[in-house]
Amino acid sequence: MARSVTTQRKAINTAIAWAIGLLIFFPILWTILTSFKTEGQAIASPPIFLNFDWTLENYAIVQERSNYMRFLWNSVIIAGGSTLLGIVIAVPAAWSMAFVPGKWTKDILLWMLSTKMLPAVGVLYPIYLLFVRMGILDSRVGLVIIMMLINLPIIVWMLYTYFKEIPSEILEAARMDGATLKDEIIHVLTPMAIPGIASTVLLNFILAWNEAFWTLNLTSVNAAPLTAFIASYSSPEGLFYAKLSAASTMAIAPILILGWFSQKQLVSGLTFGAVK
Amino acid sequence: MSLKNTLYAATALSLVGAFGAVAETITIATVNNGDMIRMQGYTDKFTAATGIDVEWVTLEENVLRQRVTTDITTKGGQFDIMTIGMYETPIWGANGWLVALDDLSAEYNAADILPAMAGGLSHDGTLYAAPFYGESSMIMYRTDLMEKAGLEMPKSPTWDFIRQAAAAMTDRDAEINGICLRGKAGWGEGGAFITAMSNSFGAQWFDMDWGATFDQEPWKNTLTFFKGMMDESGPAGYATNGFNENLSLFQQGKCGMWIDATVAASFVTNPDDSTVADKVGFALAPNTGMGKNSNWLWAWALAVPAGTQKEAEAKQFIEWATSTDYIDLVAASEGWANVPPGARTSLYENPEYQKVPFAQMTLDSILSADPNDSTVNESPYVGVQFAAIPEFAGIATEVSQEFSAAYAGQQTIEEALAKAQALTNDAMEAAGYR
């Protein structure tokens, strides 16, 4: 009896999980389906789900009108570069906060997080002027720096949380064996925190990939990433829904595939230390 | 080959290479719509003729506004040409942010630009942006439904007639709404429509002392009429409908009438997209007999930001893109219905273009809107569906949010108008107008 209840409960839980999963995935599915419709079918009322003449015309138009590979390459450089630079800076910062906490460590952590609460538009003009003066407007270098700075608080917080789960005795033992600070961080701490670092890298890569305020406002031609690619197909006056959906599908495809293959690391990292 | 000849050849090759290396590239920020995308497709012809390469930065209208405003106010220098509208041009021209277009070539024939457009894109009589296309608003209606209702659309109907016709055409069982209008929040969406409509009801944004006038009877009459008519005959959820939503409804045969941008005429009469393409008639936007119709005036225009290093090349492109030759090029490839409308007088004198069913009504609509005299009573501002002051966009966005909330039944019209009055006066006082 008990086993049957458990099986029934499992089935219900599975069904609920699938329902929630499909609900969350539905907008993406709808975008993908719309990308294969004509503009007329895309706005049909009632909406057409699957029963339409599938076409690749929107993808052909998008390919003809935009240099997709240039946008994609910029996205890869900006998201990858900012994440790696952020990790390089955040690992020592998180190490010091986790293993050598000072009187103000918690205040500093909270202050770092509070910078995320500032509306980005509030600092647009100062940042824009700085970029103009430094000559890094519409450059990948500029975008890598700004994206790294934006995501740094999250990277430090995540790494700090993971590092706190590592017993400090292990690091002390390494020091007893003569490890320098550099050895301690690179050869002892980092390998032990790999799941946490991996999930931090993945999450921040996704955040940087999807960021659409700074990437739209600080780029024009040379450094414009996929967010600018999508924005060029949105219009309040004229029907571009099917083409916009095709552009969106092309923009999210790489990150969707990356997320699919790395979901195991992502989940294990995010739940790292959750169960003691 | 002698050494001398070899040197000559090498020198010549070097010069050719150097020439190629300095070929200029201009960067143009533009808005994503059909006419602008079409222009991008013809850019190769401009490059072939001039040797000037063109890089396009295409953005959604609101993103574009924010992007080019940030760049021009900080002298960022990202763009050599910006696509801006009638709202920005006089303000930016007055601030010295744009290069005056007062030295265009004789072949360009600047005098051919429609006076209403040239006036709206000038400051102190100097043209600061060349119109790529212009638009007003007009009534697009279903001729079959009008006939079925036993009514005949006058060329210049009153709002009372429109309300009566909308009620007669509405058939909820057949999913036909008598009228579809913009109710969506945003100064360029529902805000533009209700402002143009309010002009015909004798309302205006500001009195001569820059005080808000939402506490006066004409505004209450405008909103009460709009909401009453839309509740009776409009589509469900009209408070969130903008241009695209109404275009979609009309093309699917679900609107009896639609009052919106004249450029929509080519969409609703295109049989590839519209199910009612052969059943569409046109009329001037409605009035109340007070002397003003409820149509707006707008142009997307090309301007050169002051400080660009490529001013000559930018002007060369503008002359090409807004010329009669460009119109002929599009007409030859894609037909007269697809040429950029509303910018040049000569287009409307062209017998071929006169055959386009909506051409004359578009011109009549444009000519009946005067940005310098848009309200029944005297007002201190220029603009038909906007007031050309920098503060307007922010204020009007908030006001239109209050109006949309009233359309959706979240507050009364009186509450919305009281809030609009307070927030407008607060903003104008903060900006130093009062």
Which residue in B305, B303, B300, B301 sits closest to B97, CA to CA? Answer: B305
Phi, psi of B122, rounded to the nearest 5 degrees: -120, 160
**Does any domain span residue A70?**
yes
Under the banding of pLDDT at 50, 70 and 90, the label for residue A269 is low
Q: Do B244 and A236 touch (CB under 8 A)?
A: yes
Partnered with residue B98 across adjacent β-strands are B305
Residue B262: its H or E element: none
Contact B57 A235 (CB under 8 A): no
User: For the domain that residue B154 is a member of, what is the CATH number?
Assistant: 3.40.190.10
Q: Specify whether the CB–CB gap between B241 and B180 falls below 8 A.
A: yes
Q: Which of B58, B66, B248 sits opposite A232 (nearest CB)?
A: B58
B254 → chain A, closest CA residue = A45
Residue A264, pLDDT score? 75
pLDDT value for B15: 46
Question: Can you give the pLDDT at residue A40?
Answer: 82
Segment B412-428 mean pLDDT: 98
Chain B's closest residue to A243, CA to CA, is B32
List, for residues B128-139, the tens digit of each pLDDT value: 999 999 999 999
What is the model's pTM? 0.86
Residue B165 sits in the same domain as residue B271: yes
Q: What percent of chain B has pLDDT over 90?
A: 89
pLDDT digits (tens, 9 = 90+) for B233-244: 999 999 999 999
With beta carbons less than 8 A apart as the criterion, state whether B199 and B375 touch.
yes
Residue B368 within any structural domain of the chain? no
Indicate whether B107 pLDDT > 50: yes
Give residue B19's pLDDT band: very low, low, confident or very high (50, 70, 90). Answer: very low
Q: What is the pLDDT of residue A117?
A: 87
Tell me the pLDDT band of B350, cut-offs 50, 70 and 90: very high
Shared domain for B268 and B248, answered yes or no, is: yes
pLDDT tens, residue by residue, B42-95: 999 999 999 999 999 999 888 999 999 999 999 999 999 999 999 999 999 999
> How much is the pLDDT for A275?
45
**Residue A275 within a domain:** no
Residues of B in contact with A39 (CB under 8 A): 273
For residues B300 and B36, the answer to whether their CB atoms sit within 8 Å is yes
Do B32 and A235 make contact, defined as CB atoms within 8 angstroms?
yes
B244 to chain A, any CB pair closer than 8 A? The answer is: yes
Residue B221 or B3, more confident: B221
- Look at residue B329 and tell me if it is in a domain: yes
Q: How far apart are CA A200 and CA B275, in angstroms?
A: 52
- Asked whether residue B282 falls in the same domain as residue B315, the answer is no
B40 Cβ under 8 Å from any chain A Cβ: yes
Within this chain, do residues B215 and B344 fall inside the same structural domain, yes or no? no
Average pLDDT over residues A36-41: 90
Query: Among A116-120, B23-27, B231-235, which range has the highest average pLDDT?
Result: B231-235
Is residue B369 scored above 80 in pLDDT? yes
With vertex at residue B127, the alpha carbon angle to CA B122 and CA B128, rounded to the nearest 5 degrees, is: 85
Count of positions (residues) in chain A: 276
Q: Distances in Å between the alpha carbon of A80 and those of A77, A148, A209, B143?
A: 5, 10, 9, 58
Amino acid at B74: T
Note the pLDDT tens digit of each residue in B114-159.
999 999 999 999 999 999 999 999 999 999 999 999 999 999 999 9
- Mean pLDDT (chain B) is 93
**A-B C-beta contacts closer than 8 Å:** 91
The boundaries of the domain holding residue B269 are 137-296+381-430
Residues B70 and B219 in one domain: no
B window 181-200, beta carbon within 8 A of A:
188-189
Residue B342 covered by a domain: yes
Convert the pLDDT of each residue in B152-182 to its tens digit.
999 999 999 999 999 999 999 999 999 999 9
Assess whether B394 and B343 both reside in one domain: no
Exposure pattern of A176-188 as b/e (b: 16+ CB <10 Å)? eeebeeeebbeeb
Q: How confident is the model at residue A186 (pLDDT cuts 50, 70, 90)?
A: confident
| Location of structure tokens 């969409």 | B267
The pLDDT mean for chain A works out to 90
Instruction: Please check whether residue A269 lies inside any domain of the structure.
Output: no
Helical residues (DSSP H) of B137-284, grouped into ranges: 143-148, 159-169, 190-200, 217-233, 243-251, 264-268
Per-residue model confidence as pLDDT tens digits over B379-389: 999 999 999 99
Instruction: Give the confidence band of B1 by pLDDT, cuts at 50, 70, 90.
Output: very low
Contact A132 B77 (CB under 8 A): yes
Helix, strand or coil for residue B261?
A: strand
Where is the domain boundary, B359, B389, B405?
B359
**Residue ranges of E strands in B41-108:** 53-59, 81-84
A68-78 average pLDDT score: 97
Specify whether the CB–CB gap between B223 and B414 falls below 8 A: no
Distance in Å, alpha carbon of B242 to nearest chain A alpha carbon: 8
B346/B322 Cα distance (integer angstroms): 13
> d(Cα A249, Cα A43) in Å, to the nearest integer?
18
Q: Is residue A120 part of a domain?
A: yes
Nearest to A218 by CA among A137, A122, A150, A123: A137
For the ranges A116-130, B7-21, B33-47, B145-159, the lowest mean pLDDT is seen at: B7-21
**What is the nearest CA distance from A260 to chain B, expressed in angstroms?**
31
A contacts of B63 (beta carbons < 8 Å): 216, 231, 234
Q: H or E element: which one contains B434?
A: none
User: Which of chain B's residues have a Cβ under 8 Å away from the Cβ of A125?
Assistant: 70, 73-74
What DSSP line would sit under B32-60, residue for residue? -SHHHHHHHHTHHHHHHHH--EEEEEEE-
Compute the distance between CA of residue A255 and CA of residue A203 in angstroms, rounded to an integer. Answer: 11
Q: Does residue B141 belong to any structural domain of this protein?
A: yes
Would you say residue A2 has pLDDT above 90? no
CB contact under 8 A, B70 and A137: no
Share of chain B above pLDDT 70, in %: 95
B33 close contact with A: CB closer than 8 A:
yes
Q: Is the pLDDT of residue B17 over 80?
A: no
Q: Tens digit of pLDDT for each residue in A142-164?
A: 999 999 999 999 999 999 999 99
Residue B66 sits at the chain A interface (C-beta within 8 Å): yes
Q: What average pLDDT does this structure show over B297-303?
A: 96
Q: Does some domain include residue B225?
A: yes
Q: Is residue B366 part of a domain?
A: no
Q: What's the pLDDT score for residue B34?
A: 85
Which CATH number fits the domain that encloses residue A136?
1.10.3720.10
Residue A55 confidence (pLDDT) above 70:
yes
Note whether B196 and B365 are within 8 A (CB): no
Name which residue leads in pLDDT, B234 or B8. B234
As a whole number, mean pLDDT of residues B329-355 equals 95
**Residue B346 in this model has a pLDDT that exceeds 90:** yes
Q: Give the side-chain half-sphere CA count within 13 A for B217.
A: 1
B213 versus A258: the higher-pLDDT residue is: B213
Point out the residue among B74, B79, B242 whose CB comes nearest to the CB of A128: B74
Do both B120 and B153 map to the same domain?
no
Residue B304 shares a structural domain with residue B399: no
How much helix, strand and coil, in percent to the nearest 5, is found in chain B?
Answer: 50, 15, 35
Read off the pLDDT band of B21 (50, 70, 90): very low
In Å, the largest CA–CA distance within chain A is 74
Give yes or no for B412 touching A (CB within 8 A). Answer: no
Residue B242 touches partner A, C-beta closer than 8 Å: yes
ipTM of the complex: 0.83
Peptide bond before residue B115 is cis, with ω within 30 degrees of 0: no
Helix ranges restricted to H, B289-354 = 311-321, 324-334, 345-349, 351-354
Residues 6+ apart with CB under 8 A from B230: B179, B181, B183, B238, B407
**Residue A95 CA to chain centroid, in angstroms?**
23
* Nearest CB to B273 within list A40, A231, A232: A40
Three-state SS at B311: helix
Band of pLDDT at residue A270, cut at 50, 70 and 90: low
Do B142 and B110 belong together in one domain? no
Tokens 């310098």 identify what position? B372
How many domains would you assign to chain B? 2
pLDDT in tens, A190-227: 888 888 898 899 999 999 999 999 999 999 999 999 99
pLDDT top residue among B21 and A222: A222
What is the mean predicted confidence (pLDDT) over B276-303?
96
Residues B230 and B273 placed together within one structural domain of the fold: yes
Q: Tell me the shortest Cα–Cα distance from B427 to chain A, in angstroms.
A: 19
Number of domains chain A contains = 1
Q: What is the pLDDT of residue B84?
A: 96
Whether residues B61 and A236 touch (CB distance < 8 A) is answered with yes
Whether B3 has a pLDDT exceeding 90, the answer reads no
Residue B373 resides in a domain: no
Do B331 and B261 share a structural domain? no
Same domain, B178 and B282: yes
Chain A residues 202-231 within an 8 A CB cutoff of chain B = 216-217, 220-221, 224, 228, 231
Whether residue B365 is contained in a domain is answered as no
User: What's residue B264's pLDDT?
Assistant: 93
